[in-house]
Amino acid sequence: MASPVAQVDGQDTGNGFFSKILEKLAQRQSLSAAEAERAFGVIMDGAIAPERIAAFLMALRVKGETQDELLGAVTALRQRMHAVPDMPADAIDICGTGGDNYGTLNVSTAVAFVLASLGVPVAKHGNRAVSSLSGASDVLTALGVPLTGEGGELARQMRSSNAIFLAAPNHHPAMRHAAGVRRALGLPTLFNLVGPLVNPAGVKRQLLGVFSAQWLYPIAEVLRQLGSECVWAVCGQPKDGHGGIDEITLAGPTDVVALENGRLIRFCIEPEMAGLAYAPICAIQGGNAQHNAQALEDLLRGVPGAYRDTVLLNAACALHVAGRATILHDGRIDSSALKDCVAQAARSLDNGAALAVLNGLRSPLPDAHARDMTGSS
C-alpha cells in the first residue's frame, strides 16, 4: 500500500524529492515526520542509490536525529513489513538497538528463553550483527534454532514453546536496500533505533535496550504514539565503560523511561535493588557467534556468573513489562518484588525449563505434524 505521505509535494517523486531532503539536511534542518516517512519510504522501495543513502544517514547523524524523524522512519518500515498474524495479544519483545560497541554476550536472546519457560509469550525480533560481533540471528543460528518467516511454523513454535524468533530479513525485505550501506558505514545510524520499533508480530509490550540515554524518552514516546501498552526503554551506564549500553547492567546504574498506563516516567535501577552484586562490563565480554552460543547454552544449563546475573536482572524487569509482576510503585522500584522476580527467573534456569525451550525450538517437526501444518496453512 502506498504511504499517505507519498502525496506530500506529489509533483516531486523519488530522486527529485530525495535531493531536496539531502539539501535540507545539508543545511542542518530537521525533517518533519511526514518528510522522514517519505524519505525512508523511497529508500525502502529501492529508488535511491547506495551512495545517496549513505549521505542521508550520515547527514542525519551529523545534524542529530530527532523524534519526528524516528517516527517517520518507523511508520515507513511498518507499512512495508511482512507482519506475523495471530500472535498472543500479550506477547513481549526483548531487544536492543545495538550500536554500543561493547561486544557483550547476547543478553536479550537469553532472556527470551527464560521468559518463555515462565509462560510469557515472546516474539523476539532481531538481526545479524551490523555494528557488533554477534547479533541475535547469528547466535540463534549457531545454537541450531531455525529462523523461519513462514506463518504456520511460527504459530506452531509459539503454541509449543511460547517463543518465536523473527529474523529481520524474513519480515523486512525492503531493508535490504540499506543493508550494504549500514555494513559499509559500520556506525550506529537511525536504523539501529528503528529496528526494535518495527516488530512484525505487532507486540505492544517491550523491554528495549538503547545505546544512548538521550534516546530513551523519544523512543518511548514514539511507541506511545503508535499504540504500545507497556514499554521500558533502558540504557545501562557502566562505571568502567565508555558510554551507554543497550541493556540493564550490573556494571552501574541503568536509566529507564517507562510507558506505564499511558504516561512516561523516568527512574533508575541499581543491581543491589535486585540483591545482585556489581560486576564490571568486561565480565560479560562476548566473542563470535559460536563463542556466544556456547556461553548462552552454558547459562541455560545453570552455570553461575555475571552473565547469569545480568540475564536474571533483565528477565525480572521483563516480567513486569509482560504484566506478570508489579515491581514499580509510584515511579519507584519495589526491591522486594524485584528480588522475587529474580528468584523466579533463577528457578527456570536451575530446573532446566529455559533449556527445554531452546531444545524444543531445535527439534524438527515430526513428519505427521508437518503434514498437518502444511495442510492447514
Annotated binding site for 5-phospho-alpha-D-ribose 1-diphosphate: 96, 99-100, 104, 106-109, 124-132, 136
Helix (H), strand (E) at residue 36: helix 33-44
- Residues in binding site for anthranilate: 96, 127, 182
Give the three-state DSSP class for 231. Answer: strand
- Residues in binding site: 96, 99-100, 104, 106-109, 124-132, 136, 182, 246-247
Three cell numbers written together for 297: 547454552
Give the three-state DSSP class for 152. Answer: helix
Q: Read off the amino acid at residue 252.
A: G
Give every CB contact of residue 364 below 8 A, 6+ residues apart in sequence. Answer: none
For residues 69 and 287, what is the distance between their CA atoms, to the nearest angstrom? Answer: 33
- Residues in binding site for Mg(2+): 108, 246-247
Beta bridge partners of 266: 257
For residues 52 and 34, what is the distance between their CA atoms, to the nearest angstrom? Answer: 20
For residues 108 and 96, what is the distance between their CA atoms, to the nearest angstrom? Answer: 7
Q: Is the CB of residue 348 less than 8 Å from the CB of residue 299? A: no
For residues 215 and 218, what is the distance between their CA atoms, to the nearest angstrom? Answer: 5
